[in-house]
């Protein structure tokens, strides 16, 4: 690897902090890495001001629209914060603990899947995951809903997407496409 790969505007301590923060968030990622986006936002945007709200939302939107695993948004955020080394640190920080914990918990749970405690735990994860996804959705919508010129159209688009998701089995990618068209036309 070239030294340019390791070059970053962040200090070594800041890079270590970025890695450590994503390492801890990984252990809270019930329902996927996207559910920890509010924690990522707080650390990257609010506390350290490494990127803006709009850059944060755009990073997630670009990664979610691209083919591949949903966790790619973590690499895009890391890249936008600290270049290639940021992408590496955020991805390893996100994948390492959650992968190890998932492997251990899955093996343990498979042997005890019929016990009352394991069934209660898995049932209880559903509302937790939904709550985390709602918090993430609001975080991503907030910059657009707060924009006075586009607030009404942003709220209408959100209501439309929620209505379609509740009443149909349409793939969410179609709604991402509708959002992209609406945004490209300047309505949101």
The CA distance from 188 to 186, in Å, is 6
Closest CA to 47 of 21, 84, 8, 9: 21
Q: So where are the chain's domains? A: 3-124
Q: What is the pLDDT of residues 83-118, one digit of tens each?
A: 999 999 999 999 999 889 889 988 988 888 889 988
Give the mean model confidence (pLDDT) for residues 125-149: 82
Cα separations (Å) of 69 from 32, 41, 63? 11, 20, 9
Q: What is the crossing angle of helices 72-111 and 53-65, to 10°?
A: 60
Residue 66: pLDDT above 80?
yes
Res. 5 pLDDT band, cuts 50 70 90:
low
Q: DSSP label at 35?
A: G
In this prediction the pTM is: 0.65
Closest CA to 84 of 183, 3, 167: 3
HEC string of 140-177 equals HHHHHHCCCCCHHHHHHHHHHHHHHHHHCCCCHHHHHH
Q: What is the pLDDT of residues 153-181, one digit of tens each?
A: 888 888 898 899 889 988 888 888 888 88
Give me 143's structure tokens. 């910059």
């Amino acid at each position: 690897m070239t030294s340019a790969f390791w070059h970053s505007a962040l200090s070594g301590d800041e890079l270590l902090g970025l890695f450590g923060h994503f390492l801890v968030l990984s252990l809270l990622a019930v329902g996927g890495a996207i559910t920890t986006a509010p924690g990522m936002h707080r650390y990257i945007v609010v506390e350290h001001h490494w990127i803006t709200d709009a850059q944060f939302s755009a990073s997630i939107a670009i990664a979610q629209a691209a083919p591949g695993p949903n966790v790619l948004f973590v690499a895009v955020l890391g890249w936008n914060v600290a270049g290639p080394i940021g992408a590496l640190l955020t991805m390893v920080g996100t994948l390492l603990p959650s992968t190890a914990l998932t492997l251990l918990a899955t093996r343990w749970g498979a042997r005890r899947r019929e016990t009352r405690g394991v069934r209660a735990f898995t049932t209880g994860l559903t509302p937790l995951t939904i709550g985390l996804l709602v918090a993430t959705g609001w975080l991503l919508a907030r910059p657009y809903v707060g924009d006075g010129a586009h607030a009404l159209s942003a709220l209408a688009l959100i209501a439309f997407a929620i209505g379609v998701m509740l009443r149909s089995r349409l793939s969410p990618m179609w709604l991402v496409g509708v959002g992209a068209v609406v945004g490209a036309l300047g309505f949101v």
